[in-house]
Structure 1
């Protein structure tokens, strides 16, 4: 999906992957160009500041990496948005500040006290029951917690496995119940996705969800609630931030924007450049095809091509990903290739659902690539 763009816009990253593989780096490793990633992050932050939009960073797609989190915090990002409670717990234990928790996955009852004690800026709830659990946990801890309500409408864009929230028709009654809680405060709204890449327009465009969140805002304000946050995630990058601001958004949540890998970045050059590749190695050949080591497959990656061998002397071949019902022991390649040759791919990642390693590489922009750390797909350091 991003291979040709990466070769053209960040050839140093591709060269570094091949060089480090030759020096013994194992296949099934994602390499993150920290120079490029942090430059992308600076550009996004500058654009957000100009638009008066605050940013929570999303790192699930890069393997919940605590070192990246610390570097983004140093650039002035507000905190992490943790996609689920496991990510929240791992960041809390690494000393990472959480800006937003509970949006795509609710915090389970037994994890509430640990997570709320870490004082996240906001927690999203889908139901009165979850708000009551949070209220009780806050009472035991002696603190108050600001809540965001996830709102939805039957016409909204929703993804399978991510259903949940307050329907607009049920919101007035819910607000009356939420008003009775003593240790939590309804302080804002969110929905997902607010923006998506539109192939016809070739830009990131608003979804129907924006109409829903604005209708909900009116309901909250008429009921006497102060809406201090309008959280509008998905595809947050330099191109979409002015749209977030124009839509009344107060917060964006860049994820793939940080690594230059939103669908927009596959279609056209943007301010952010590709900052991540996947390294594998040819394992064997069979029936006219080569097979390289897998482990990093994500069903929506749109992987299509791989570079075999060197940047100058190698060749690009088609990739045959495993079927969705199969374990990704290998990726197929369209043609025979030398066994143990380097394989470099660039596609849409969700590292946290893989079994891959993640190597942070510094110095690519200076022509001096060096691995500064290797981590599991869940952000745990490997080795010394």
Structure 2
């Protein structure tokens, strides 16, 4: 699905990645990042966020918390990250980004709270209940500061992905704010949810969710209670073209992730300011039964999309205009040791050929390498980093 957008809007990226792989500089089973384009996208998002008065934090999980990605985002004007879990916090902190938001989507385990406060001193820390709020506050007190806490809230009619549920009752938000303010080492700073925006298949647009209305109503209740300067954190499907609607709804914070590499669902439907800057690259291993088997480990078909025809560019020479082949990818219930590429007809794939896919990736949940490449926009591509999904340098080729 994203391969068509890649071929049309960033063909030089595909050709550079294929050439580097054939030169032995990029491993098979790798998410490859066009760092020049990431920097450009970050600047587009950053400038729009600043124009609207929004704080902007980078989400890095989709690209495996790549250190070179973090640095490209920083050069583009975003110097703070949101950490979806402690692994994200460690990786982005080590890469030189300030951890601005911790605890959302995943809460911090009890015996990690003190270390998280001491090491990262996050600007904001999301909590789902009073116990987690007390743990965060205690950690901050031990580290010598007072922690700004965001209350994750929920209301009837809100949308949560299965396994993402949790939070305070939005109807009790004023009392929740008072309780968080009473904590020794903590204070109430604002409210959050996820997702605030969501792609709608019927209209093929990104629309506000009921969650965003819940945030707006809760902020109004807090204002009536005399609270000022309440932070409203509203993540989900952020492109620069969507930020104005968040600001209009009262949001004060946004957290682009897929938008930084041009792969939100809306980027498939419309040519948005952000260009595609990520692809999945692997290599043909062997032939069997009319299929070319390519190395797996990083296949990720995002469940936000209905089933679609998966294709790859396959060949030994850099190209975007030919060599398109149909691909069968094992179901999520199977281990993706290989995917099967159609090997019938002329110019059939052969072992060693490069295979390029366009995925809306979640590299951190795969076994793939993450490779940052700079200089593509100048015609001088160079591999900057080869890392695992935790932003750590990979031992490759051995």
The alpha carbon displacement at 1:318 in A equals 1.9
Contact 1:220 1:227 (8 Å CA) reproduced: no
Residues 1:307 and 2:317 are matched in the alignment: no
Deviations 1:36-79 (A, max 9, x none): 11111111112212222221000000111223223323433251
The answer to whether the 8 A contact 1:31-1:279 is kept is yes
Q: Are 1:198 and 2:200 an aligned pair?
A: yes
Distance 2:163 2:360 in 1: 19
What is aligned with 2:38?
Answer: 37
**Are 2:42 and 2:78, in contact at CA under 8 Å, matched by a contact in 1?**
no
Q: 1:272: how far off?
A: 0.8
In structure 2, the gaps of 5 or more residues are none
> 2:381 aligns to what?
369
CA distance in 1, matches of 2:366, 2:218: 37
Gaps of 5+ in 1: none
Pair 1:279–1:96, CA change in 2 (3 A): same
**Match of residue 339, structure 1, among 334, 344, 351:** 351
Q: d(CA) in 2 for partners of 1:179 and 1:364?
A: 50
Counterpart-to-counterpart distance in 1, 2:115 and 2:48: 34
Over the residues paired in the alignment, what is the CA RMSD in angstroms? Answer: 1.9
Is contact 1:66–1:96 with CA below 8 Å preserved after alignment?
no
Partner Cα separation in structure 1 for residue 204 and residue 321 of structure 2: 33
CA distance in 2, matches of 1:348, 1:192: 19
Q: Name the CA distance, whole Å, in 2 between partners of 1:314 and 1:142.
A: 60
Distance 1:379 1:312, change over 3 A: closer
CA gap of 1:95–1:17, structure 2 versus 1, over 3 A, is closer
- Tell me the SS of whatever aligns to 2:115: helix
State the match for 1:353 in structure 2: 365
Q: What is the CA deviation profile of residues 170-227 of structure 1, one whole-angstrom value per residue up to 9, with x for unaligned ones?
A: 4454344334213211111111000012233333210111111122213333444434
Residue equivalent to 2:67: 66
What's the TM-score, normalizing by structure 2? 0.91
Change (3 A) 1:148 1:47: same
**8 Å Cα contact 2:40-2:76 kept in structure 1:** no
Counterpart-to-counterpart distance in 1, 2:237 and 2:175: 32
Aligned residues: 384
Whole-angstrom distance in 2 between the partners of 1:236 and 1:250: 13
After TM superposition, the score normalised by the length of structure 1 is 0.94
- Residue in 2 that maps onto 1:174: 176
Secondary structure of 1:64's counterpart equals coil
Q: Which residue of 1 aligns with 2:110?
A: 109
The alignment partner of 1:257 has SS state of helix
Question: How many Å apart are 1:33 and its aligned residue?
Answer: 0.6
| CA distance in 2 between partners of 1:176 and 1:49 (Å) | 30
Q: State the alpha-carbon separation in 1 of the partners of residues 171 and 248 from structure 2.
A: 26
Q: 1: CA distance between counterparts of 2:326 and 2:236?
A: 29
Q: Structure 1 CA distance, aligned partners of 2:67 and 2:320?
A: 35
Structure 2: distance between partners of 1:371 and 1:101: 30
Asked whether the 8 Å contact 1:320–1:333 carries over to 2, the reply is: yes
Measure the CA separation in 1 of the matches of 2:354 and 2:363.
20
Of stretches 165-174 and 269-278 in structure 1, the one that deviates more from structure 2 is 165-174
| Change over 3 Å in CA distance of 1:97–1:36 after alignment to 2 | same
Q: In structure 1, what is the Cα distance between the partners aligned to 2:293 and 2:198? A: 34
- Please state how far the C-alpha of 1:91 moved relative to its aligned partner: 3.0
Which whole-Å CA distance do the structure 2 matches of 1:352 and 1:171 have between them? 33
Structure 1 runs (4+) greater than 6 angstroms displaced: none
- Please say which of residues 196-205 and 7-16 is displaced more in the overlay: 196-205
In the alignment, does 2:329 pair up with 1:321? yes
Distance (whole Å) between structure 2 residues aligned to residue 126 and residue 133 of structure 1: 11
1:15 aligns to what?
A: 15
SS at match of 2:184: coil
SS in 2 for 1:147: strand
User: Which piece of structure 1 moves more, 319-328 or 342-351?
Assistant: 319-328
Is this contact kept in 2: 1:54–1:77, CA < 8 A? no
Conserved? CA contact 1:322–1:328, under 8 Å: yes
